[in-house]
């Protein structure tokens, strides 16, 4: 199957193998050009820099870079072609081929906490969204659980705008409507500010801000599909920004491929046969491709067994509560066909995200802005298991699953539907890790991460294997753009940054050693060097801390808690100190048991 690669204007076969080498060669030639140009620019008189009309400064650059962040929703670690997946993502793969991929970037386990960290450079509780957005904050859990952005944090837009940037936001906000994008520094917005997801086919669910703005893009009834409209608005805002003459920042926050899985039927059709092969075969194939790409090695990354279904209600776990996801070959043909279609729709959603990247890149090429635009691509958390291996239909908490057969199969993902793809496909998405979104095991908090910026990075098809966190994006942009992080905005005292700039690592250097803490609704972890202590939730066995050496065991297969009790107890103590410092307060629930017990309590 051939696909059009919008990035370089060449045709390639589905997948990214081989193309990365080709792209790297082309990019290397460009790199030599930019290095030469950089030398010339350094020799120019200083007064030219002063009188050029630039706002701010960018280290080693003639002018500050434009910024594009593309955030996918519930995309698994291995779903992209350039991370081993079989989904058609040629444009994102091309970004990787001309840029840098990171192997150990962490998120905050769920949509809104991850967005809070990314947007502010802080841990979720420091930004006011410790677990989820809400209109009724818990009366005793403190400001870390207000369920909306804190006044004591600054957003990327609130930092870049004073540095002269025009700032635009498209898509899913999920940082609470009362602290919406216009109130928190963005100039223009299109998308939705209420809830975690909306019907992709319902134009009434999406709006333009500031209030009173006319919609520049307004497809007629029956033709609206949110992923496409988000892509079109990102391009529209880039064009508007280019007319301002300012450097600009566009945040494209997709709701795809978060449930409800929805995509036009003709886009999903081509994936039906791919996914009728089943999750077991595809998971093994992804694992092998990840090794071929140089992402993992078979010695220190062992493919984990199928993950369990972490649901204590058998009625919404499809009868698999606390059990391992079923083998594909154990299912009947009708169930396989239904499930394959759910995953086919998911894949079509991911391909839609990729199409938008292609649109943006093609326009930036035509406008000669691509080389000095820093493009970041990532996901907000691991793939989502909700709830059982067969997925759900209708309201998610009811967990009902309707088996579709015959002509009804092709209706999956269509207008008026609300479905998920289930825990077993999510396990495929998180290959080779255990567990899912909501967990602080690697499957829940590991994200694919791509940085592309020819003028600033000058490296192609590179891997960075140092641990990082989405809260590092804010300080990275501050350094890249020459902006200043505030101590105060108006009457608001601003919490100092927790993140660190990734630019040294993206340019081939080292990041400082540090401890990373994690907490999400009774799942928590701490990472110190190669060591990670992690505590699960919703597990069938007794809940207790686990300990892993990720240098030897990235997939968390060999629990060293009993072999290294002193190390584990010290890490638990360090986690408690971290939790107290950043405002983690436990929700009520069953207490931990065992010698490694330890919770932050207030």
How far is residue 543's CA from residue 527's CA, in Å, rounded to a whole number?
19
**Which CATH class for the 522-582 domain?**
alpha beta
C-alpha of 271 from chain center: 23
Reported residue count of the chain is: 602
Supply the Cα-derived Rg of the chain in whole angstroms. Answer: 23
CB 122 within 8 A of CB 561: no
How far is residue 353's CA from residue 459's CA, in Å, rounded to a whole number?
25
Query: Given this model, what pLDDT does residue 6 score?
Result: 34
The continuous run of DSSP H or E covering 237 comes out as helix 226-244
The closest alpha carbon to 65, from 254, 250, 234, belongs to 250
Which range among 55-59, 491-495, 545-549 shows the weakest confidence by mean pLDDT? 55-59
Q: What percent of the chain has pLDDT over 90?
A: 77
Q: Are strands 446-452 and 373-379 parallel, antiparallel or unpaired?
A: antiparallel
The closest alpha carbon to 104, from 505, 448, 599, 535, belongs to 448
Peptide bond into 432 cis (omega under 30): yes
Query: Given this model, what pLDDT does residue 2 score?
Result: 31
Query: Given this model, what pLDDT does residue 9 score?
Result: 35
Averaged pLDDT for residues 401-422: 95
> Could you write out the DSSP letters of every residue in 33-64?
HHHHHHHHHHHS-HHHHHHT---S--TTSSSP
33-70: buried (b, 16+ CB within 10 Å) or exposed (e) per residue?
A: ebeeeeeeeeeeeeeeeeeeebbbebeebbbbbbbbbb
Query: Given this model, what pLDDT does residue 22 score?
Result: 31
pLDDT category of residue 539 using cuts at 50, 70 and 90? low
Q: Confirm whether 2-509 and 522-582 share one CATH topology.
A: no
> Between residues 135 and 391, which one has the greater pLDDT?
391
CB 420 within 8 A of CB 258: no
The 3-state secondary structure of 62-114 reads CCCCEEEEEEECCCCCCCCHHHCCCCCCHHHHHHHHCCEEEEEEECCCCHHHH
Which range among 124-138, 235-249, 415-429, 507-521 shows the weakest confidence by mean pLDDT? 124-138
pLDDT category of residue 272 using cuts at 50, 70 and 90? very high
The closest alpha carbon to 501, from 471, 530, 457, belongs to 471
Q: Show the tokens assigned to 247.
A: 């450097």
Query: Given this model, what pLDDT does residue 537 score?
Result: 82
C-alpha of 76 from chain center: 8
pLDDT category of residue 223 using cuts at 50, 70 and 90? very high
The closest alpha carbon to 219, from 250, 261, 265, 264, belongs to 264
CB 95 within 8 A of CB 81: no
Domain spans in the chain, listed from the N-terminal domain onward: 2-509, 522-582
Averaged pLDDT for residues 97-112: 96
**Which CATH class for the 2-509 domain?**
alpha beta
Arithmetic mean of pLDDT over the chain: 88
Q: Which residues contact 577 (CB under 8 A, 6 or more apart)?
A: none
Which range among 274-278, 494-498, 542-546 shows the weakest confidence by mean pLDDT? 542-546
- Has residue 52 got a pLDDT over 80? no
Averaged pLDDT for residues 121-137: 92
Q: Where are the alpha helices (DSSP H) in 323-433?
A: 333-366, 423-429
Please measure the distance between the N-terminal and C-terminal CA atoms of the chain and give it in whole angstroms.
58
pLDDT category of residue 32 using cuts at 50, 70 and 90? very low
Q: What is the pTM of this model?
A: 0.88
Averaged pLDDT for residues 365-386: 98
Which range among 31-40, 325-334, 551-560 shows the weakest confidence by mean pLDDT? 31-40
Torsion of CA 183, 187, 190, 194, to 10 degrees: -10
What are the φ/ψ torsions at residue 596 (nearest 5 degrees)? -100, 30
The closest alpha carbon to 55, from 249, 247, 185, belongs to 247
What are the φ/ψ torsions at residue 225 (nearest 5 degrees)? -145, 115
Give strand pairing partners of 377: 70, 450
Q: How far is CA 583 from CA 121, 132, 208, 487, in A?
A: 16, 15, 34, 20
How far is residue 78's CA from residue 203's CA, in Å, rounded to a whole number?
31
Averaged pLDDT for residues 431-440: 97
């Amino acid at each position: 199957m051939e696909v059009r690669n919008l990035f370089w204007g060449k045709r390639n076969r589905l997948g990214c193998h081989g193309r990365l080498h080709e792209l790297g060669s082309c990019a290397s030639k460009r790199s030599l050009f930019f290095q030469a140009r950089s030398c010339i620019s350094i020799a120019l008189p200083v007064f030219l820099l002063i009188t050029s009309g630039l706002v701010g400064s960018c280290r080693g650059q003639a002018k500050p870079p434009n910024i594009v962040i593309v955030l996918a929703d519930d995309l698994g670690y291995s779903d992209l072609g350039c991370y081993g997946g079989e989904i058609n993502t040629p444009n994102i793969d091309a970004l990787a081929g001309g840029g840098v991929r990171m192997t150990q970037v962490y998120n905050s386990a769920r949509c809104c906490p991850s967005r809070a960290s990314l947007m502010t450079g802080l841990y979720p509780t420091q930004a006011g969204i410790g677990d989820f957005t809400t209109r009724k904050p818990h009366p005793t859990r403190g400001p870390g659980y207000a369920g909306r952005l804190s006044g004591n944090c600054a957003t990327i837009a609130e930092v870049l705008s004073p540095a002269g940037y025009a700032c635009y936001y498209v898509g899913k906000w999920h940082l609470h409507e009362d602290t919406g994008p216009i109130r928190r520094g963005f100039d223009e917005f299109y998308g939705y500010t209420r809830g975690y997801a909306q019907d992709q086919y319902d134009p009434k669910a999406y709006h333009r801000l500031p209030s009173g703005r006319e919609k520049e893009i307004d497809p007629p009834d029956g033709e609206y599909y949110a992923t496409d409209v988000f892509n079109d608005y990102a391009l529209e805002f880039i064009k508007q920004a280019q007319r301002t003459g300012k450097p600009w920042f566009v945040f494209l926050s997709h709701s795809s491929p978060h449930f409800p899985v929805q995509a036009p039927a003709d886009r999903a059709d081509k994936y039906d046969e791919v996914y009728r092969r089943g999750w077991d075969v595809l998971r093994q194939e992804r694992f092998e491709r990840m090794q071929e790409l140089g992402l993992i090695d078979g010695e220190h990354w062992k493919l984990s067994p199928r993950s369990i279904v972490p649901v204590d209600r058998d009625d919404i776990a499809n009868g698999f509560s606390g059990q391992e996801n079923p083998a594909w070959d154990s299912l009947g043909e009708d169930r396989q066909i239904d499930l394959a279609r759910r995953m086919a729709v998911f894949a079509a959603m991911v391909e839609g995200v990729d199409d938008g990247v292609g649109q943006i890149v093609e326009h930036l090429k035509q406008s000669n802005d691509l080389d000095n635009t820093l493009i970041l691509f990532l996901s907000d958390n691991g793939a989502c298991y909700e709830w059982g291996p067969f997925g759900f239909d209708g309201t998610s908490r009811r967990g009902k699953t309707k088996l579709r057969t015959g002509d009804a199969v092709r209706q999956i993902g269509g207008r008026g539907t609300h479905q998920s793809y289930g825990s077993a496909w999510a396990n495929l998405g998180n290959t080779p890790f255990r567990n899912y979104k909501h967990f602080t095991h690697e499957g829940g908090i590991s994200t694919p991460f791509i940085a592309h910026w020819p003028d600033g990075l000058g490296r192609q098809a590179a891997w960075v294997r140092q641990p990082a966190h989405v809260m590092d994006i804010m300080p990275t942009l501050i350094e890249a753009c020459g902006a200043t992080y505030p101590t105060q905005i108006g009457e608001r005292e601003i919490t100092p940054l927790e993140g660190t700039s990734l630019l040294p690592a993206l340019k081939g250097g080292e990041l400082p050693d540090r401890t990373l803490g994690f907490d999400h609704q009774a799942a928590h972890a701490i990472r110190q060097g190669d060591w990670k202590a992690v505590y699960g939730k919703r597990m069938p066995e007794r809940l207790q801390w686990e300990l892993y050496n990720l240098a030897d065991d990235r997939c968390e297969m060999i629990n060293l808690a009993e072999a290294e009790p002193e190390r584990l107890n010290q890490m638990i103590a360090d986690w408690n100190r971290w939790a107290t410092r950043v405002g983690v307060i436990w929700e009520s629930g069953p207490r931990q048991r065992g010698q490694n017990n330890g919770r932050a309590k207030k």
